């Protein structure tokens, strides 16, 4: 799944669950329902909110820290097709697959293990 589609899917699902939670909470408060129902409504709001606050920023980071970003941020570390680490200057760059769900690869320094950019 493409990262943009993944972000939209996560956002849409979270908002739907949060809306359902708000409706359950309002209905339970209005009818004087059991505390378990109110807890369910609160959980339907809080769990998706925490997903949106933790997962989405990570996806935005992976999409924004690209090779072009690295070249513009650390021009001294890029010479033609050769990329070096901005921390230690090593040109031993390793690409690692990140979690399958993100669809990204991380490019790290082979010497100091600094994360350089994502593709």
Single out the residue of 66, 61, 58 nearest to residue 83, CA to CA: 66
Crossing angle for the helix pair 35-64 and 3-31, to the nearest 10 degrees: 160
Q: Is-contact 53 80, C-beta < 8 A?
A: no
Q: What pLDDT, on a 0 to 100 scale, did the predictor assign at position 3?
A: 65
Report DSSP state, residue 90. -
Backbone angles phi, psi at 43, to 5 degrees: -65, -35
Q: Name the band, by pLDDT with cuts 50, 70 and 90, for residue 101.
A: low
Q: What pLDDT, on a 0 to 100 scale, did the predictor assign at position 92?
A: 93
| Residue range 25-81, pLDDT digits in tens | 898 888 887 888 888 999 999 999 988 888 788 777 777 888 999 999 999 999 888
**Total length of the chain:** 119
Query: How far is Cα 119 from Cα 107, in angstroms, rounded to an integer?
Result: 8
Q: Is-contact 70 83, C-beta < 8 A?
A: yes
Q: Name the band, by pLDDT with cuts 50, 70 and 90, for residue 10.
A: confident
Buried b / exposed e across 6-20, counting CB within 10 Å, b at 16+?
bbeebeeebeebbee
Q: What pLDDT, on a 0 to 100 scale, did the predictor assign at position 96?
A: 87
């Amino acid at each position: 799944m493409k990262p943009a589609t993944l972000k939209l899917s996560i956002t849409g699902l979270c908002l739907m669950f949060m809306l359902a939670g708000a409706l359950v909470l309002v209905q339970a408060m209005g009818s004087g329902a059991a505390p378990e129902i109110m807890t369910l409504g609160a959980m339907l709001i809080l769990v998706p909110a925490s997903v949106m606050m933790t997962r989405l920023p990570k996806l935005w980071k992976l999409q924004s820290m690209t090779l072009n970003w690295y070249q513009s941020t650390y021009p001294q570390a890029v010479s033609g097709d050769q990329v070096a680490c901005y921390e230690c200057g090593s040109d031993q760059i390793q690409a690692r697959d990140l979690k399958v769900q993100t669809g990204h690869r991380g490019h790290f320094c082979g010497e100091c293990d600094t994360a350089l950019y994502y593709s």
